[in-house]
Every structure is written in structure tokens, then in C-alpha cells.
Amino acid sequence: MKRILFICSALVLLNASAFGQKTKPWTEWNEKDVQKVLTDSAWAQSQTEFTETQAGSAITTTQSRKAADLGTAEKTESGETLGKSSSALSTIYKVAFLTAKPVRAAFIRRLELQNPETPAAKVAELRTFVDRDFGEWVVVTVLLDGSNKARKVSVMQEISAADAESLKTTTYLERKDGKRVALMDYKPPVQDGMGAKFIFPRMLDGQPFLDANSGELRVNIQIGKTVKLNRRFKVAEMMYDGKLEY
């Protein structure tokens, strides 16, 4: 009986903790909260590419992993084990829905944490971005990180040189039922810290592309010949303040 009571109490505390974190106002997020929303949440994921030099040759593998776990030993998709002692270099692609309110909130909150002396009037102005209405558009942002400096330079050159026309045939959002919306516009990175922006229509055949029952959403982005991003999101988990955000 005592064991059962202990387990029940633990579950209550766990649920209370999860509820508290979920309902914590974004204006109270700390850097850890911000990082999670932008890299490992219902609205953002990271895809990591490893390049390991062996006997003068480069071996590249790709997989999805949390940015914070890059120092731990783990097998890549090719079966090789990479860990703290490995010579592997990483390129991390952070894919997030900028039109999802929690992602916008995380970007603004990060600015606030990094610049605590910002005047109140400027803070209020920045916060209007969080409640901005993007209307008929869905915007996916891609940011670069990782330890492979040479690869990041190469990828950034491709990202900066890309345009909407070259991306339209390889970049799209796809529902579980196979329906897709193709890229409509593309904005290369500028000095706003929000990365490259891929713009898609929110409507398909006169109806919202997604609803709470859409199941799964796949983001497919290909830039040039070497950058191929493929992330899957569970639509049912993309709810925020009672609203589907993406």
C-alpha cells in the first residue's frame, strides 16, 4: 500500500511539474527554456551532419540529435560510433516554424536575456513580433550551428546564393495523406539572427493545409546538391494556448 501511495504521489508531482513548465509565461523563460523551444520541441528540430576524417578521407553521415548531446557517444546512421574521443566534426541544421508563436517568443526572449539593459519601450516594441499575424503564410526558418567551420561556410554560401525558383521543385511541406504545398518564396539570411526563411502557403484548395487531425507534417528542404533536410512533426503536439501553431 505504501509503495502504491508513493508511486501515485510521484505521478502527481511529475504532472504538476510538467503542467507548470507548459503554462510558464514565455516572458519568464530562461536560456534553457529558449534553447529547447528552438531546437527540440513540437515546433523545432535539429538535423546533424557528421564529417569524420580517417586516413585522409572524409566520411559524412547525417542523423537527428539534440545539439546538447553532441559530446556523447552514439552511433550514426552508417553504424559508426562517434563520441567525445572522435575526430568527427558536426554541422547542425536547426529547423523551426517561425510562424509558430512559441518560436517567435523564444527568439524575442533570447534577445531580452542577451540584452538585459534594453530600454522598456524597445522591449515592448520587440514583443509585438510575438503576436504578429502572418495571415496566409507559413514560414520555416533554418539556422546553422556545429563545429565544422569549413562545412558551415560552404553551406552558408549555398544558402545565400539560393533563390525561390531553384528551390521550388525540392522544397515543400507534406501531410500524412501525401498532400503537399510547394515553396512560394525564399529569403536568404539577414542580420536578424533568425536564419534563412522558407515561405509556404497556409491554405490548400481553399482550406487550411493543417488541422488538429492532420497526423504528421513533413518538412523537406533541399539546397544545392548537398544540403537535404527532412524533418517530421506531430501535428497534435503543435498546440499552444489552445491553438494549432505552425
pLDDT in tens, 66-104: 333 443 333 333 333 344 445 789 999 999 999 999 999
Instruction: Look up the pTM and report it.
Output: 0.81
In this predicted structure, the answer to whether residue 144 has a pLDDT above a threshold of 60 is: yes
Instruction: Answer whether residue 132 is part of any domain.
Output: yes
Instruction: Answer whether residue 77 is part of any domain.
Output: no
Domain span including residue 146: 27-45+92-244
| Total Cβ atoms within 10 A of residue 56 | 5
In this predicted structure, the answer to whether residue 125 has a pLDDT above a threshold of 90 is: yes
Q: Tell me, what's the pLDDT at 88?
A: 87
What's the structural domain count of the chain? Answer: 1
Instruction: Answer whether residue 186 is part of any domain.
Output: yes
∠ Cα 232 81 57 (to 5°): 100
Instruction: Answer whether residue 2 is part of any domain.
Output: no
Instruction: Answer whether residue 177 is part of any domain.
Output: yes
**Quick one: three-class SS letters along the chain?**
CHHHHHHHHHHHHHHHHHHHHHCCCHHHCCHHHHHHHHHCECCEEEEEEEEEEECCEEEEEEECCCHHHCCCCEECCCCCEECCCCCCEEEEEEEEECCCHHHHHHHHHHHHHHCCCCCHHHHHHHHCCCCCCCCCEEEEEEEEECCCHHHHHHHHHHHHHCCHHHHCCCCEEEECCCCEEECCEEECCCCCCCCEEEEEECEECCEECCCCCCCEEEEEEEECCCEEEEEEEEHHHCEECCEECC
Higher pLDDT, 121 or 63: 121
Instruction: Answer whether residue 106 is part of any domain.
Output: yes
Instruction: Answer whether residue 86 is part of any domain.
Output: no
